[in-house]
Amino acid sequence: MLERPMKLLAFVWLLGLGIVAEAAGISVTAARVWPAADYTRITLESSQPISHKIMTLKDPDRLVLDLENVELGAALKAVSDKILSSDPYIRQVRVANFKPGVVRLVVDLKSEVKPSLFSLPPAGEYKHRLVLDVYPPQDPLMAMLQDRENPVEAASPSTEPGGYVPPEKAVEVAIAEIPTISQPPEQALPKSMGDKTPAAGEVVRLITVAIDAGHGGEDPGARGANGTHEKDVTLAIAKKLKAMIDAEPNMRGVLTRDGDYFIPLHGRVIKARKLQADLFVSIHADAFVKPEARGSSVFALSERGATSAMARYLAKKENESDLIGGVRLDVKDPYLAKTLLDLSQTATINDSLKLAKAVLGHLGEINTLHKPAVEQAGFAVLKSPDIPSILVETAFISNPEEERRLNDEAYQTKMADAVLSGIKRYFAANPPLAKSRMAMQ
């Protein structure tokens, strides 16, 4: 007789659990804020996709983001504490239950902005993500493309040559015309890189090296056994390399990023071209499934596939950066697609191989080489049609001993110096041509 009532009670209890679970809603497991000079990103991570609505309001400027069927938990409540007073766009964020089943985020702004809100599927160690990017009103990528079509009007100096390129878009960085000595066409090497002072009639001009610190922001890159993030090591080495290059007469280094924020791969290429860079050097730190793997490597772009299984593996991992860092899947860059088919890229790859060989030779003086020769693969970040570009894998961060060395400032300095020595050797054999402006069409 008691069996039926007990089953009924069990059913009611289970039904109650379902109602409670439904009422609790989706849990936001992490909330991250990535401020940068030209944009701020807010990321909400959850176990399930979040349905959402966004409104832009005036007087005062603010964004209103409604999250449906979401639980107001600790991670969401903590967003307010993550906003820096120095943030150029966001004054504060307020979070509260707006009505049953809806959590509302009000983003109080310091000025008018152009928001971009999109969802990302799980990638790497991340679950579902809802991403809010806050940009200035003017679209930086469109402004830059217009500059390319009107190069004379675009030649205004950049106030932040090492500034930031935001996700899905490249920051508008207008570079002043680089003056040259107008004399006969024979070219000479800048004083600091040759064995002699340039003679009368030779051309000396500023050489620009774009230095790309791999990964950043949402994309940590590889991770060592002791918790070292590739994005931190690459930025440290990149900053040291920039300082060394800047100390050379007639040379300057420019960083694709100078802080912990994400830049899409195509944005790094576009920025280097906008800066009229003579070279592009991307700094990374290898990782492999076996911790015994070790040594430094240098890579160039390949038009015909990878030169080894390891090169193919590393290119695949590095090219996943956009998926992990977070790029809108519906945003395309037709300009970049066009340039990748440029026939001039063959000559650029040949120059890239010369640069890579020079750098590899000096890396071998401070570390074991993983392979004694330059390797090639389809690294997306190397796909500039007119700038010799290399990717330097400084060491294997997955190797405990090399992870320790990568964290050592003295080793970072040696690594930067080796790369600079390779750059100088390259220019000693391949003097830079005079140019007033790089062709951007």
| 417 lies in the same domain as 291 | yes
Task: Return the beta strands (E) in 348-388 as ranges.
Answer: 375-377
The first and second tokens of residue 410, run together, are: 């003295």
Task: Name the DSSP class of 369.
Answer: B
The first and second tokens of residue 34, run together, are: 């990535």
User: Is residue 440 domain-resident?
Assistant: no
Q: What is the pLDDT of residue 3?
A: 58
| 109 lies in the same domain as 52 | yes
**Residue ending a domain, choose from 135, 164, 197:** 135
Q: What is the pLDDT of residue 303?
A: 75
| 386 lies in the same domain as 245 | yes
Closest CA to 321 of 218, 171, 398, 249: 218
Give dist(CA 253, CA 383) in Å, integer: 20
Residue 371 pLDDT greater than 80, yes or no: yes
User: Is residue 1 domain-resident?
Assistant: no
pLDDT digits (tens, 9 = 90+) for 357-369: 999 999 999 999 9
The whole-model pTM stands at: 0.73
160 pLDDT band, cuts 50/70/90, is very low
| 255 lies in the same domain as 394 | yes
| 243 lies in the same domain as 331 | yes
The percent of residues in the chain predicted with pLDDT above 90, rounded, is 56
Top mean-pLDDT range of 50-54, 312-316, 343-347 = 50-54
Q: What is the CATH number of the domain that holds 65?
A: 2.60.40.3500
Task: Collapse the DSSP code of 313 into the 3-class scheme (helix H, G, I; strand E, B; otherwise coil) and give the result.
Answer: helix
pLDDT digits (tens, 9 = 90+) for 55-95: 999 999 999 999 999 999 999 999 999 999 999 999 999 99
Task: Name the DSSP class of 219.
Answer: B
| 153 lies in the same domain as 59 | no
Q: What is the pLDDT of residue 148?
A: 44
| 63 lies in the same domain as 172 | no
User: Is residue 215 domain-resident?
Assistant: yes
The first and second tokens of residue 27, run together, are: 């849990």
Residue 134 pLDDT greater than 60, yes or no: yes
Q: What angle do CA 258, 263, 264 make, to 5 degrees?
A: 155
Residue 199 pLDDT greater than 80, yes or no: no
Residue owning tokens 């997955």: 398
Q: What is the CATH number of the domain that holds 401?
A: 3.40.630.40
pLDDT digits (tens, 9 = 90+) for 2-36: 555 555 555 545 554 444 444 568 999 999 999 88
**Residue ending a domain, choose from 75, 104, 135:** 135
| 148 lies in the same domain as 128 | no
User: Is residue 441 domain-resident?
Assistant: no
User: Is residue 290 domain-resident?
Assistant: yes
| 202 lies in the same domain as 239 | yes
pLDDT digits (tens, 9 = 90+) for 302-339: 877 787 787 777 777 777 776 777 776 555 554 444 44
| 130 lies in the same domain as 165 | no
Give mean pLDDT, residues 173-193: 35
**Residue ending a domain, choose from 135, 163, 198:** 135
Residue 177 pLDDT greater than 50, yes or no: no
| 93 lies in the same domain as 167 | no
Domain encompassing residue 377? 140-429
Domain tally for the chain? Answer: 2
User: Is residue 239 domain-resident?
Assistant: yes
Backbone angles phi, psi at 127, to 5 degrees: -90, -155
Helix (H) or strand (E) holding 147: helix 140-149
Task: Collapse the DSSP code of 120 into the 3-class scheme (helix H, G, I; strand E, B; otherwise coil) and give the result.
Answer: strand
Q: Indicate the residue type of 102.
A: V
| 130 lies in the same domain as 39 | yes
User: Is residue 35 domain-resident?
Assistant: yes
User: Is residue 45 domain-resident?
Assistant: yes
How many residues are there in the chain? 441
Higher pLDDT, 143 or 236: 236
